[in-house]
Amino acid sequence: MQRYSIFSLARNALTGHRNWPQAWRSPAPKPEYDVVIVGGGGHGLATAYYLAAEHGISNVAVLEKGWIGGGNTGRNTTIIRSNYLWDESAAIYEKSLQLYEGLSRELNFNIMLSQRGVLNLAHNEHDLKEMSRRVRAIRGNGVDSEILSPAEIEKLVPAINISRDLRYPILGASLQRRGGVARHDAVAWGFARGADDRGVDIVQNCEVTGITRQGGRVTGVETTLGPVKAGKVGVVVAGHASVLAEMAGLRLPIDSHPLQAMVSEPIKPVLDCVVMSNAVHVYVSQSDKGELVIGAGIDSFNSYAQRGSWHVIEGQMGALVELFPIFSRLRLMRSWGGIVDTCPDASPILSKTPVDGLYFNCGWGTGGFKATPGSGWAFAHTIARDEPHPINAAFSLDRFTTGALIDEHGAAAVAH
Amino acid sequence: MLLIHCPYCGPRDETEFGYGGEADIARPLEPEALSDAEWADYVFMRTNTRGRFKEQWVHSHGCGRWFTMVRNTVTHERGETGVFGGVEPEADG
Ligand SMILES: Cc1cc2nc3c(=O)[nH]c(=O)nc-3n(C[C@H](O)[C@H](O)[C@H](O)COP(=O)(O)OP(=O)(O)OC[C@H]3O[C@@H](n4cnc5c(N)ncnc54)[C@H](O)[C@@H]3O)c2cc1C
Ligand SMILES: [Zn+2]
């Protein structure tokens, strides 16, 4: 792998940038691997990377039906934070944030992590009380979190409407300063390049159509490029988790819903932290290009269509303009949808399954981008050792039988 | 936005309706006889079909009644609607 540096940049500039090597190969799938990862989103690529980097398992293929990072990884609003309520969540999301903090260096790929702070607004007395309870719990887990008064919010975000005349006035906010955003494509590409360098085959345009089993054990997958044998199979397909589960005769507590996001035309810097509101339901940040990146809520109905309804966007804009009247004359440039895998307790599943050698990583729903490195790290451990790491043991599929749910509906505040 | 055909009131905007998810999940008749795994299946596990999917809707801002609808979850193409209890309404559907 050619390392990226100021020197390689200068060297390649001299030849007009025509001689950069490919960041990863495009091999045809081999007939057999130790581990096959289904799904080349950030989580699947991170899993493959950590299998090779941390567990010495590099006879691995990532099979992706489209192009890598073309699913939710390339469609999300890239908010990263670890201020979740429960101990189990704090452990895995904070692990992920810590990995993010070192990721550009580890991967020699600039993922453009920007720890600009994530602000969660409170709009009524109940929000405020709930927030102070939450912030205490979060700090108790060693995760940074603080409460801001309206005056402090106004100082941090001058463009926000702090007036008491709002229908839902801003009474306070919690702030995680280490939260922020990162470049989503770069996260997928960086992990792909690092995994490829360690011998992982990344195979695009290869859809998995069946999961083959013998005597309760997985033996491989059927794909549009032919059968591939595997000792172990890890499925990381987000919105398509139920489809893959059915191939193995399993049922999941997952529903697939459209989730939309949109960007405005680019403007000069006006917003330098992430602002989220649960009550009026909007989350917004400004990209380096100057576009406002705005996220919506899910459509109520089940869908695999990667597009959502117009009225959801309308509601979103209403909330945004109420909080930031200054944005009311901006035009939207693009909107798009992804298919998110929602789980009843708003927590993910990283788990062994009743089929030996078959593992599922899904249920991240509206908020898994922030977890990409941590999820891959824990899932790689689960696959390599055939047992969960302590930080993902609680996120097993059997919690729906035992009742030990991890209810994070409130912590997520909004869909993101 | 979907155009939903309430079997009682006819075609209306999706915003008039509430979503009830997968249809035909029957409450267990003998709850005390169920194992934990069977409870988990009833309470949490979902078919989440990719393709023709039978779901339930309620016309909250209309007649207030529940009904079932078949819809393709990839194309959003609408299939047949059905009513609970098997009594077909007289209104246009
Ligand atoms: C609009 C929107 C906004 C969001 N905002 C945020 C946010 O601000 N912060 C946050 O933390 N999270 C956010 N999320 C959620 C986040 O994007 C996801 O949780 C996360 O990216 C999931 O990553 P993944 O790698 O598991 O899935 P994906 O990136 O979707 O990857 C799954 C891959 O599996 C492939 N696949 C599917 N079926 C098959 C098959 N049969 N064979 C082979 N490959 C297959 C797909 O093509 C896809 O590339 C948002 C999501 C959306 C849609
Ligand atoms: Zn009606």
Which of the ligands is closest to the CA of residue A261? 1
- CATH classification at residue B18: 3.30.2270.10
Is residue B79 less than 8 Å (CB to CB) from chain A?
no
CA A149 to centroid of chain Cα atoms:
30
Which of the ligands is closest to the CA of residue A340? 1
Model pLDDT, residue B88: 64
Model pLDDT, residue B93: 43
Question: How distant, in Å, are the alpha carbons of A152, A179, A285, A372, A375 from that of A156?
Answer: 6, 15, 13, 28, 32
Model pLDDT, residue A412: 44
* B4-16 average pLDDT score: 96
- pLDDT: which is higher, A409 or A384: A384
**Nearest to residue A204, comparing CAs of A72, A67, A71?**
A67
* CB proximity list for A376: less than 8 A, separation 6 or greater: A42, A43, A44, A45, A46, A47, A48, A49, A50, A191
Q: Which domain holds residue B32?
A: 3-83
B41-B43-B45 Cα angle (round to 5): 45
In a domain, residue B90? The reply is no
In a domain, residue B93? The reply is no
* A37-48 average pLDDT score: 98
Residue A109, pLDDT above cutoff 70 = yes
Residue A262, pLDDT above cutoff 90 = yes
Nearest chain A residue to B22 by CA distance is A302
Question: How distant, in Å, are the alpha carbons of A120, A134, A163, A416 from that of A274?
Answer: 9, 19, 20, 12
Model pLDDT, residue B87: 65
From A254, A302, A309, residue closest to B1, measured CB to CB: A309
Model pLDDT, residue A409: 83
* B19-28 average pLDDT score: 95
In a domain, residue B17? The reply is yes
Residue A227, pLDDT above cutoff 80 = yes
- Number of structural domains found in chain B: 1
Residue A416, pLDDT above cutoff 80 = no
High-pLDDT (> 70) share of chain A, %:
98
Model pLDDT, residue B90: 58
Q: What is the ipTM of this complex?
A: 0.93
Bridge-based pairing of strands B10-13 and B18-22 is: unpaired
Q: Taking CB atoms and an 8 Å cutoff, what residues of chain A touch B71? A: 301
Q: Which residues surround ligand 2, an ion (CB under 5 A)?
A: B 6, 8-9, 59, 62-63
How many other C-beta atoms are found inside a 10 Å radius of the C-beta of residue B80? 12
In a domain, residue B22? The reply is yes
Sequence letter at residue A294 = I
Bridge-based pairing of strands A79-80 and A32-38 is: unpaired
Question: How distant, in Å, are the alpha carbons of A28, A45, A67, A211 from that of A227?
Answer: 12, 21, 20, 10
CA separation for the pair A93, A90 (Å, rounded): 5
- Within 6 Å (CB) of ligand 1, which residues are found? A 38-44, 63-66, 70-73, 75-79, 207-208, 236-238, 240, 259-261, 295, 338, 340, 364, 366-370, 416
* A195-223 average pLDDT score: 98
Residues 41-70 of B with CB under 8 A from A: 41, 43-50, 53, 55
* A115-133 average pLDDT score: 95
Model pLDDT, residue B92: 47
Mean pLDDT of chain A: 96
**Of the given ranges (A191-195, A200-204, A243-247, B87-91), which has the lowest mean pLDDT?**
B87-91
* A240-255 average pLDDT score: 98
pLDDT tens sequence across A61-86: 999 999 999 999 999 999 999 999 99
In a domain, residue B29? The reply is yes
In a domain, residue B30? The reply is yes
A306: left (phi over 0), alpha (psi -120 to 50) or beta: left
Nearest chain B residue to A305 by CA distance is B74
- pLDDT: which is higher, A107 or B85: A107
Model pLDDT, residue A2: 87
Model pLDDT, residue A279: 87
Q: How far is A312 from chain B (nearest CA, A)?
A: 9
In a domain, residue B75? The reply is yes
In a domain, residue B92? The reply is no
